C-alpha cells in the first residue's frame, strides 16, 4: 500500500508540473494528499516528516514573499549580475534586433501547434505569379551558365532585361516605382533564378536583400526615398553594400574605416559633412555599382555635433563617382561571374545628408544592419540553398535512370538510392523551412534567430546535396564544359557558406547565443534587471520573473520525463495518422531542449559564449526542431496529401534524429559528468527513439525522384525549379532522354528478354535493336522509339572535350 501511495505521489507531482498547475493550487492538492496518506496509517511517521519537509521548503518561500526576496531572489539577482558579463552595445543591438516568432514557442518547451497551423499558407498574387511565369522564365532562358562563366559576366541583354523588368525593384514599394512583391514571391523568384544560374541569382539577390533599398525603406528620410528608390527601381542606380574589409570579416564591428565630422566644400558652399576613409573587399556588385552603401565608424574630434567624440557605426550612401572613391576592380570568387570586388575611399567628402536617415541616425548603423539582415537573410540564401537541392533532385533523379552500369540503371543500386534519398528528402525539408520563414516575413516578422538557422541549415544542406549529386554523376560532373550542369554549382557552394555570417560562426555563436537571450521567455528580462539591480523596484520585479522562471524549468523537467516515458502520447496534439506522432515527438524534444538550455545557462552563465561547441549543439537541436515544425506546417497547409507521406516521414525522421543526436552530444559533454548522466536518463528514459530515415524510407524517396515530372509528390518537391524543354540544352537533353527511355521501357524489356533467352543473337558489333527488328522481336515503331531513346541517352552520357589550342590562355587573360 505504501508503495502505491508513493508511486501515486510521484506521478501526481510530475503530472501537476507537466500541466503547469499554478503553485498554490498544486501545493494545496499535495497537502491534502499528504494528510490523507497520514490518516490512512499506511506511512510511518518518519516518512511523513520527510515528505512534509520539501513541501514546506517550497510552500514557505511562496507564502512569505519577504522571506523569499531576501533569501532567494536577492542572492540570485546578485549572482546573475556577477555571472553574466555586461552586454556590449554591439551584442545588445544584435540581440534586440529582429523579432521572435516560432523560435520563442520552441524555446518555451510547449509549442502551440494550433497557432503554427493557423498561420496563413503562402500564396502568390496574380501579378507575382505572372512575373514568375513571364519575365523570370524569360530571363532564365536568356542565359547559359557556362557562357556566363566563360565571359565572367552576364550577357549585356540579360543586364538590360534585369533593369528594364524591375528585377532590382522586387522589394521597393509601388509608390516608389517598385514591384512591392511579398517575401514569398521574392523567395520564389530567387529560387527559380538560382536553379538556372548562381550568378544570375546573386546579381538579382543583392539589391533586394541587405543593401541601400532595404535600408532606405526602413530608415531613409522621405527626401532620400523619393530621390533614390525610383532610380534603384528603374536600374538607373546599381547598388552595393560595403561592410567587410581586410581587418573586419566575421567581426565586422572591428572595422577601422572612419568618417570624421568636419566642414568641407560641396557644390560651391561650405557644409557640415564627413571626411571618409575606408578599405572594403568582397563587395557584391561593387565593381559596377553607382551607389555604394557604406558602413564606417564616426568620429567628432572637433565637437561639431556635441560632446561625444566616438559616435559609433553609421551608414551612408556614396555615389561612386564622388572624388576619392576607388572602385571597379574585381575578385574572382571561386570563378563565379557575378560582380564582386574591393573598393576604397581616400579623404572622400560627403555632406551629412548622405547619411541614411540623416544626422539623427549617426551611430545607429549596427542595429540598422541587424534589423535588415533579419529580413534579407530569411529570403535570399535560403532560396539559393533550396534551389540547389531542387536542382540536384531533378538532375540526379533523371540521370540515375538514364545512366546504366552493370546492365541496370544507377537508380537500382542501394548505394545510389541512399545518395538520392538525402538529396530528395533534404530538398523537401529545406523547401518547407524556406516557405515558412518567408511567410513569417510576410506576417511582419523580422526573424533574427530563425534567419540565422535558415542561412546555416540551408546552405550546409545545399553543400551536402551537391556533393551527393556529384557522386551520382561520377565523371560526368567532373569534366567541365557546357554540358556539365553541376560543376559550377559545386564550385560556388562555399560562397553561400561564407557570406551573410560565415557558417561556423553562425552555428557556434549566433543561433543559440542570440536565441538564448532573445527567445528565452525570461532570460532577457532577468539580465536587464541584473544590470539595474540597484534601482528601486528591480528586486520585486526580478522576484516575480524568477518565480515564473522556476515554474517554467520545473514544468519542462516534468514534461521531459513524462513525454519521454509516454512517447509524447500524454499531450494533446493536432495532426492525422501520418503526422500526429511527429507532433508528439517534437513536443517531447522541445521540452528537453528548453530544460537543457536553461541548465546550460545556469551552469555556465556567460561562459557559454566560450563553450562554442555546447552552444552549437543547442543551436542544432533548436534548428532541427524548427525544420521539423516547418515540414509539418507544409504538409498540413497542403491538405495532408497522401502522396507526401514518405517525404513528410523522411523530413521528420531526419529532423528528430538530428535533434536527438545534438542533445545526446550535449549531454555527453555536459559540464559535470554525473549531472550529464543524470540528465541523459531524464531526457532519454527509454533510450533514443529516432535514428534517422530507414533504408526502406530512403528507397521510397529515391523512387519518387525517378518518377515523371507530373507526379504530384515529385511536382511538389521540384516546384519552382527551372526546367528547359529544348534538347539542345543539357537539362533539356536529360529530360528528353528520361522521357523517351521511360516511354520505351516495354520495348527495352522485350529486347532484353530476347537477348537473355537466346532468341536473338546479334553479331558482335552490330546493333541489337536492328537485329530485333529484323527478327520480328520489335515492330518498326518500337524499334524507332528505342533507337531514339538510346540516342538521347548517348547525348546525356557524352561530356565535353576541347582541342588543346582552345584551352591556351590568350595574352592578358586571367585564366
Place of cell 527488328: 773
Alpha-carbon torsion, ordered 194, 185, 452, 580, to 10 deg: -110
| DSSP H or E stretch at residue 737 | helix 730-743
> Residue 690 — φ and ψ, nearest 5°?
-125, 125
8 Å CB contact between 471 and 419: yes
DSSP string covering 68-129, please? HIIIIIHHHHHHHHHHSPPPPHHHHHHHHSSB--HHHHHHHTS--HHHHHHSPPP---HHHH
Q: Is 242 in the site for ligand FAD (CB under 6 A)?
A: yes
* Residue from the set 80, 140, 162, 243 that interacts with ligand FAD by CB under 6 A: 243
Please indicate whether residue 790 is annotated as part of the active site: no
Task: Pick one of 284, 387, 587, 736: the residue that binds ligand FAD (CB under 6 A).
Answer: 284
Rounded Cα–Cα distance for residues 583 and 625 (Å): 10
* Of residues 318-337, those binding ligand FAD (CB under 6 A): 333
Cβ neighbours around 803 below 10 Å, total: 7
Size of the site for ligand FAD (CB under 6 A): 21
Listed ranges 278-286, 638-646, 763-771, 789-797: which one lies at the site for ligand FAD (CB under 6 A) = 278-286
Among 4-12, 276-284, 683-691, 726-734, which window interacts with ligand FAD (CB under 6 A)?
276-284
Instruction: Using the minimum distance from each CB to ligand FAD, give the nearer residue, 13 or 252.
Output: 252
For residue 226, the tally of other CB atoms under 10 A from its CB is: 12
Rounded to a whole number of angstroms, the minimum distance from the CB of residue 465 to ligand FAD is 20
Mapped onto helix, strand or coil, the DSSP state of residue 177 is: coil
Task: Output 493 or 655, the one with its CB closest to ligand FAD.
Answer: 493
For residue 261, which of 292, 291, 306, 219 has the smallest C-alpha distance? Answer: 306
**668 backbone dihedrals φ, ψ, rounded to 5°:** -65, -25
Element (H, E) at 344: strand 340-351
- Give Cβ neighbours of residue 807 (< 8 Å, ≥ 6 apart): none
Of 224 and 340, the one with the shorter C-beta distance to ligand FAD is 340
Decide whether 284 or 655 has the Cβ nearer to ligand FAD. 284
Give least dist CB 330 to ligand FAD, A.
11
Based on CB atoms, which residue is closest to ligand FAD, 283 or 614?
283
Tell me which of 113, 167, 241, 278 binds ligand FAD, using CB under 6 A: 241
Question: Nearer to ligand FAD by C-beta: 37 or 600?
Answer: 600
Question: Is 736 an interacting residue with respect to ligand FAD (CB under 6 A)?
Answer: no
- Selected binder of ligand FAD within 5, 146, 278, 282 (CB under 6 A): 282
Non-local CB neighbours of 791 within 8 Å, separated by 6+ positions: none
> Which of these is catalytic: 500, 654, 661, 782?
500
Q: Report 475-504 residues binding ligand FAD (CB under 6 A).
A: 495, 498-499, 502, 504
182 scored as a contact of ligand FAD (CB under 6 A): no
Residues in 503-522 that interact with ligand FAD by CB under 6 A:
504-505, 508-509
- From CA 759, how far away is CA 44, in angstroms rounded? 91
Q: Which of residues 571-630 bind ligand FAD (CB under 6 A)?
A: 612
Give yes or no for a contact between 199 and 337, defined as CB atoms under 8 angstroms apart: yes
Grid coordinates given for 130: 505572372
Residue with smallest beta-carbon separation from ligand FAD: 249
- Decide whether 243 or 472 has the Cβ nearer to ligand FAD: 243
What nine digits make up the cell of 661? 543526436
- Residue 482 backbone zone (phi > 0: left; psi -120 to 50: alpha; other: beta): alpha
132 vs 462, beta carbon nearer ligand FAD: 462
**Residue 253 CB, nearest approach to ligand FAD (Å):** 11
* Interface pick for ligand FAD out of 27, 139, 204, 283 (rule CB under 6 A): 283
CA distance linking residue 416 with residue 510, whole number of Å? 35
Question: Dihedral, CA atoms, 690, 691, 697, 701, nearest 10 degrees?
Answer: 100
Q: Residue 287 Cβ, how far from ligand FAD at the closest point, in Å? A: 11
Catalytic positions are 500
Contact residues for ligand FAD, defined by CB under 6 A = 240-244, 249-250, 282-284, 333, 340, 495, 498-499, 502, 504-505, 508-509, 612
Amino acid at each position: 500500500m505504501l508503495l502505491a501511495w508513493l508511486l501515486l505521489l510521484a506521478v501526481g507531482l510530475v503530472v501537476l508540473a507537466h500541466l503547469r498547475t499554478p503553485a498554490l493550487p498544486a501545493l494545496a492538492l499535495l497537502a491534502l494528499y499528504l494528510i490523507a496518506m497520514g490518516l490512512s496509517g499506511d506511512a510511518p511517521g518518519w516518512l511523513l516528516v520527510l515528505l512534509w519537509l520539501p513541501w514546506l521548503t517550497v510552500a514557505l518561500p511562496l507564502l512569505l514573499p519577504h522571506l523569499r526576496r531576501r533569501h532567494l531572489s536577492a542572492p540570485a539577482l546578485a549572482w546573475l549580475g556577477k555571472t553574466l558579463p555586461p552586454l556590449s552595445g554591439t551584442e545588445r543591438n544584435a540581440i534586440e534586433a529582429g523579432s521572435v516568432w516560432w523560435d520563442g514557442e520552441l524555446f518555451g518547451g510547449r509549442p502551440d501547434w494550433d497557432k503554427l497551423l493557423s498561420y496563413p499558407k503562402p500564396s502568390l498574387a496574380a501579378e507575382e505569379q505572372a512575373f514568375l511565369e513571364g519575365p523570370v522564365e524569360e530571363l532564365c532562358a536568356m542565359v547559359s551558365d557556362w557562357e556566363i562563366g566563360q565571359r565572367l559576366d552576364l550577357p549585356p541583354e540579360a543586364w538590360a532585361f534585369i533593369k528594364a523588368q524591375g528585377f532590382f525593384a522586387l522589394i521597393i514599394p509601388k509608390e516608389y516605382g517598385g514591384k512591392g512583391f511579398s517575401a514569398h514571391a521574392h523567395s520564389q523568384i530567387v529560387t527559380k533564378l538560382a536553379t538556372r544560374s548562381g550568378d544570375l541569382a546573386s546579381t538579382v539577390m543583392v539589391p533586394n536583400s541587405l543593401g541601400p533599398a532595404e535600408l532606405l525603406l526602413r530608415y531613409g528620410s522621405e527626401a532620400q526615398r523619393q530621390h533614390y528608390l525610383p532610380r534603384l527601381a528603374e536600374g538607373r542606380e546599381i547598388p552595393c553594400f560595403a561592410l567587410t574589409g581586410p581587418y573586419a570579416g566575421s567581426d565586422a564591428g572591428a572595422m577601422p574605416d572612419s568618417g570624421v565630422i568636419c566642414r568641407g566644400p560641396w557644390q560651391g558652399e561650405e557644409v557640415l559633412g564627413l571626411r571618409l576613409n575606408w578599405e572594403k573587399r568582397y563587395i557584391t556588385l561593387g565593381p559596377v555599382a553607382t551607389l555604394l552603401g557604406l558602413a564606417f565608424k564616426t568620429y567628432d574630434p572637433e565637437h561639431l555635433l556635441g560632446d561625444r567624440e566616438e559616435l559609433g557605426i553609421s551608414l551612408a550612401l556614396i555615389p561612386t563617382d564622388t572624388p576619392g572613391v576607388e572602385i571597379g576592380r574585381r575578385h574572382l570568387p571561386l570563378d563565379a561571374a557575378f560582380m564582386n570586388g574591393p573598393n576604397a575611399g581616400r579623404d572622400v567628402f560627403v555632406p551629412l545628408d548622405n547619411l541614411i536617415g540623416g544626422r539623427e541616425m549617426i551611430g545607429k548603423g549596427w542595429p540598422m544592419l541587424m534589423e535588415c539582415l533579419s529580413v534579407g537573410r530569411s529570403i535570399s540564401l535560403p532560396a539559393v540553398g533550396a534551389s540547389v537541392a531542387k536542382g540536384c533532385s531533378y538532375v540526379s533523379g533523371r540521370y540515375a535512370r538514364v545512366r546504366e552500369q552493370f546492365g541496370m540503371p544507377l537508380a537500382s543500386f542501394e548505394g545510389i538510392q541512399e545518395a538520392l534519398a538525402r538529396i530528395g528528402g533534404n530538398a523537401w525539408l529545406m523547401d518547407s523551412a524556406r516557405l515558412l520563414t518567408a511567410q513569417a516575413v510576410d506576417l511582419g516578422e523580422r526573424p533574427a534567430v530563425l534567419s540565422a538557422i535558415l542561412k546555416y541549415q540551408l546552405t550546409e544542406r545545399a553543400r551536402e546535396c551537391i556533393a551527393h549529386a556529384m557522386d551520382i554523376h561520377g565523371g560526368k560532373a567532373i569534366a567541365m564544359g557546357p554540358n556539365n550542369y553541376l560543376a559550377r554549382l559545386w564550385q560556388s557552394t562555399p560562397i553561400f557558406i561564407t557570406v551573410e555570417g560565415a557558417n561556423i560562426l553562425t552555428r557556434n555563436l549566433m543561433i543559440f547565443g542570440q536565441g538564448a537571450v532573445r527567445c528565452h521567455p525570461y532570460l532577457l528580462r532577468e539580465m536587464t534587471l541584473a544590470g539595474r539591480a540597484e534601482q528601486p523596484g528591480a528586486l520585486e520585479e526580478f522576484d516575480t520573473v524568477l518565480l515564473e522562471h522556476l515554474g517554467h524549468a520545473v514544468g519542462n523537467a516534468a514534461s521531459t520525463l513524462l513525454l519521454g516515458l509516454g512517447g509524447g502520447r500524454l499531450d494533446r496534439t493536432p495532426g492525422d495518422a501520418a503526422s500526429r506522432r511527429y507532433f508528439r515527438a517534437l513536443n517531447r524534444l522541445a521540452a528537453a531542449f528548453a530544460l537543457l538550455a536553461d541548465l546550460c545557462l545556469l551552469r555556465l552563465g556567460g561562459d557559454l559564449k566560450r563553450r562554442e561547441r555546447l552552444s552549437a549543439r543547442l543551436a542544432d537541436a533548436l534548428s532541427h526542431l524548427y525544420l521539423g515544425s516547418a515540414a509539418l506546417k507544409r504538409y498540413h497547409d497542403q491538405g495532408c496529401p497522401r502522396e507526401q507521406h514518405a517525404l513528410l516521414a523522411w523530413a521528420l525522421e531526419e529532423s528528430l534524429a538530428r535533434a536527438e543526436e545534438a542533445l545526446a552530444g550535449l549531454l555527453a559533454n555536459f559540464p559535470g559528468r554525473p549531472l550529464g548522466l543524470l540528465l541523459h536518463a531524464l531526457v532519454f528514459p527509454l533510450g533514443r527513439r529516432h535514428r534517422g530515415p530507414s533504408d526502406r524510407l530512403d528507397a521510397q524517396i529515391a523512387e519518387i525522384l525517378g518518377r515523371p515530372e507530373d507526379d504530384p509528390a515529385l511536382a511538389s518537391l521540384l516546384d519552382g525549379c527551372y526546367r528547359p524543354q529544348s534538347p539542345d540544352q543539357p537539362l533539356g537533353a536529360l529530360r528528353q532522354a528520361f522521357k523517351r527511355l521511360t516511354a520505351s521501357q516495354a520495348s527495352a524489356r522485350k529486347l532484353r528478354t530476347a537477348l537473355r533467352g537466346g532468341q536473338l543473337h546479334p553479331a558482335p558489333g552490330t546493333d541489337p535493336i536492328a537485329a530485333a527488328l529484323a527478327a520480328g522481336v520489335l515492330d518498326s515503331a518500337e524499334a524507332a522509339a528505342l533507337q531514339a531513346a538510346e540516342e538521347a541517352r548517348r547525348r546525356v552520357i557524352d561530356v565535353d572535350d576541347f582541342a588543346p589550342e582552345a584551352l591556351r590562355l590568350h595574352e592578358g587573360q586571367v585564366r
